[in-house]
């Protein structure tokens, strides 16, 4: 056990890196910079988290799988898109010792792998809308400082969805649907988030516009944890993706794409974790309940009761572990707290005499529960636990976001959190803002309304606002 090595969460960067190792999420010691190994425990979290994404998308999307390598000629077709990615691409140039006739790009994202196939798949209006997604690894030659789960050269868990529609308006509607699905996803992880429309100079290369979800991390910086792009007709023009209308005419499709990566797990760990280690929401915890026998007096009887309780929980589809190891109960408490297990049951001879167990939640709540109603109690505590960590996370977010009235205040406030600033929407004013505040513009808050006031740069009256933050 190395758990005593975890620094306090207020030293966020060290805490994060140590917790990924001690909590057995990812191992950063693989000998290629920016490439990490998922530990089995971390991978189990990943599996549960991505099951939620699948469940949310499978309603009306199809999961598919496209090749990792993209031929240079397809990759280079869309000029704006290339400009956004060309400095980050890994190229495969050889097959064995022979140079390849056509170089192959390792996908940094898959538009240029998927859309030539869309051209073949889409024939008529009856084929639309088309919605597919895949969960794959992508590669980007990051030159900035890499960080496990946050900035990687191999993004291991990129969920990218791609859709095609008969009209631009329908595609715009799909962007809203994507944001709603992602919102539901983060609600299920008890992670509060901001939604904004990125300024034009920060949209996805080739998109008409981009909306994004950001999470405020413990150090006040924001992490972009989901994006949805309206691609308009950019790619359908380039790849000639058309459909036959009811009148027999050929029209271009309008497209969207939207993505989530393992940054969702970086946010999950960072938002909920504490000085003791991981805190995992019930739905994604690999171990939801741990049973710790208190072995005093008649050990056999205690173990028998623990085993029968474990079996009952398993029958109720609860992911449960009975820890029969040799360590003292205190050391076991510590170990399973580090692993973020939502509920711990302590069962000793005194409890058995009274026909009860002691239930301890990872957020510190402790209760005595009758064995007869144990399953019901656990399930209701699981709900309460979700609400408690959600409330806690929301309080943190609200404490770290504030509307400010001037450039100076924005500069001061973005050192600790996210500032909301009035901005007329003009690029010139936006650039000045970013420059003077020394922070990134996340863009216009979505689905909220503000009073009319002056743009902090040009003094023109406006109801628009922008988020300003230091970004990961």
Contact call for residues 11 and 273 (beta carbons, < 8 A)? no
C-beta of 365 vs 458, nearer to Zn ion: 458
Least separation, in Å, of the C-beta of 424 and Zn ion? 3
Least separation, in Å, of the C-beta of 111 and Zn ion? 33
Least separation, in Å, of the C-beta of 194 and Zn ion? 22
Give CA–CA dist 2/309, Å, rounded. Answer: 30
Backbone angles phi, psi at 164, to 5 degrees: -130, 140
DSSP string, 141-175: ---SPPBTTTB-SEEEEEEEEEEEESSHHHHHHHH
C-beta of 55 vs 428, nearer to Zn ion: 428
Give CA–CA dist 392/271, Å, rounded. Answer: 9
280 interacts with Zn ion by CB under 5 A: no
Q: Token pair for residue 27? A: 């191992």
With the C-alpha atoms ordered 79, 160, 472, 142, is the resulting torsion angle positive or negative?
A: negative
Angle between helices 263-272 and 12-22 (to 10 degrees): 110
Least separation, in Å, of the C-beta of 471 and Zn ion? 22
Contact call for residues 72 and 85 (beta carbons, < 8 A)? no
> x/- binding map, residues 397-426, to Zn ion, per CB under 5 A?
---------------------------x--
364: left (phi over 0), alpha (psi -120 to 50) or beta: left
Q: Is the peptide bond before 47 cis (omega within 30 degrees of 0)?
A: no
C-beta of 191 vs 429, nearer to Zn ion: 429
Least separation, in Å, of the C-beta of 197 and Zn ion? 17
Residue from 231, 455, 468, 469 that binds Zn ion (CB under 5 A)?
455
429 interacts with Zn ion by CB under 5 A: yes
Least separation, in Å, of the C-beta of 224 and Zn ion? 25
Least separation, in Å, of the C-beta of 469 and Zn ion? 19
Contact call for residues 232 and 171 (beta carbons, < 8 A)? yes
C-beta of 260 vs 457, nearer to Zn ion: 457
| Segment lying near Zn ion (by CB under 5 A), choices 192-200, 245-253, 320-328, 428-436 | 428-436
Least separation, in Å, of the C-beta of 74 and Zn ion? 41
C-beta of 378 vs 407, nearer to Zn ion: 407
Give CA–CA dist 188/285, Å, rounded. Answer: 12
322 interacts with Zn ion by CB under 5 A: no
| Segment lying near Zn ion (by CB under 5 A), choices 184-192, 326-334, 378-386, 451-459 | 451-459
Least separation, in Å, of the C-beta of 445 and Zn ion? 17
Least separation, in Å, of the C-beta of 214 and Zn ion? 23
457 interacts with Zn ion by CB under 5 A: yes
C-beta of 290 vs 456, nearer to Zn ion: 456
139: left (phi over 0), alpha (psi -120 to 50) or beta: beta
Q: Which residues contact 175 (CB under 8 A, 6 or more apart)?
A: 211, 228, 229, 230, 256, 258
Q: What's the chain's Rg over C-alpha atoms?
A: 25
C-beta of 44 vs 432, nearer to Zn ion: 432
Residue from 331, 368, 379, 458 that binds Zn ion (CB under 5 A)?
458
Kindly state the number of chain residues that form the binding site for Zn ion, as judged by CB under 5 A: 5
252 interacts with Zn ion by CB under 5 A: no
C-beta of 295 vs 421, nearer to Zn ion: 421
C-beta of 332 vs 465, nearer to Zn ion: 465
Angle between helices 374-399 and 263-272 (to 10 degrees): 100
C-beta of 195 vs 429, nearer to Zn ion: 429
Taking alpha carbons only, the member of 146, 178, 144 closest to residue 160 is 178
Contact call for residues 274 and 9 (beta carbons, < 8 A)? yes
| Segment lying near Zn ion (by CB under 5 A), choices 30-38, 83-91, 156-164, 450-458 | 450-458
Which residues bind to Zn ion, rule: CB under 5 A?
A: 424, 429, 455, 457-458
């Amino acid at each position: 056990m190395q758990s005593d090595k975890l620094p306090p969460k207020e030293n966020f960067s060290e805490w994060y890196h140590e917790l990924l190792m001690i909590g057995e999420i990812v191992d950063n010691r693989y000998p290629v910079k920016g490439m990490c190994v998922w530990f089995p425990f971390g991978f189990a979290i990943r599996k549960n988290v991505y099951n939620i994404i699948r469940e949310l998308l499978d309603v009306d999307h199809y999961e598919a799988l496209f090749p990792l390598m993209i031929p240079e000629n397809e990759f280079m077709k869309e000029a704006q898109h290339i400009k956004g990615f060309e400095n980050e691409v890994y190229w495969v140039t050889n097959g064995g010792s022979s140079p390849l006739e056509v170089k192959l790009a390792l996908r940094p994202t898959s538009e240029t792998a998927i859309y030539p196939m869309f051209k073949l798949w889409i024939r008529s209006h009856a084929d639309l809308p088309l919605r597919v997604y895949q969960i794959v690894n992508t590669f980007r030659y990051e030159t900035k400082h890499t960080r496990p789960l946050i900035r990687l050269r191999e993004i291991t868990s990129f969920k990218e969805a791609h859709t095609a529609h008969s009209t631009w308006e329908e595609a715009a509607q799909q962007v809203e649907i994507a944001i709603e699905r992602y919102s539901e996803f983060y609600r299920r992880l008890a992670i509060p988030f901001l939604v904004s429309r990125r300024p034009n100079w920060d949209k996805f290369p080739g998109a008409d516009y981009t909306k994004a979800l950001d999470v405020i991390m413990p150090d006040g910086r924001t992490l972009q944890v989901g994006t949805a792009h309206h691609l308009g007709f950019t790619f359908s023009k380039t790849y000639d993706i058309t459909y036959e209308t009811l009148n027999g005419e050929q029209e271009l499709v309008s497209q969207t794409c939207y993505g989530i990566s393992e940054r969702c797990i970086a946010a999950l760990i960072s938002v909920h974790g504490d000085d003791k280690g991981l805190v995992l929401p019930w739905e994604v915890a690999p171990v939801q309940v741990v049973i710790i026998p208190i072995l005093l007096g008649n050990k056999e009887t205690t173990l028998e009761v623990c085993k029968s309780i474990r079996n009952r929980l398993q029958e109720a589809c609860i992911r449960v572990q009975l820890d029969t190891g040799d360590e003292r109960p205190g050391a076991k408490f510590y170990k399973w707290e580090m692993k973020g297990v939502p509920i711990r049951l302590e069962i000793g001879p005194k409890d058995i005499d009274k026909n009860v167990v002691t239930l301890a939640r990872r957020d510190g709540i402790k209760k005595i529960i009758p064995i007869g109603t144990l399953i019901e109690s656990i399930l209701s505590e699981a709900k309460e636990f979700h609400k408690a960590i959600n409330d806690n996370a929301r309080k943190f977010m609200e404490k770290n976001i504030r509307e400010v009235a001037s450039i100076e205040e924005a500069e001061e406030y973005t050192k600790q959190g996210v500032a909301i600033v009035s901005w007329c929407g003009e690029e010139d004013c936006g650039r000045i803002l970013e420059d003077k505040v020394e922070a990134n513009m996340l863009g216009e808050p979505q689905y909220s309304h503000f009073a009319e006031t002056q743009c902090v740069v040009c003094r023109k009256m406006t109801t628009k606002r922008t988020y300003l933050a230091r970004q990961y």
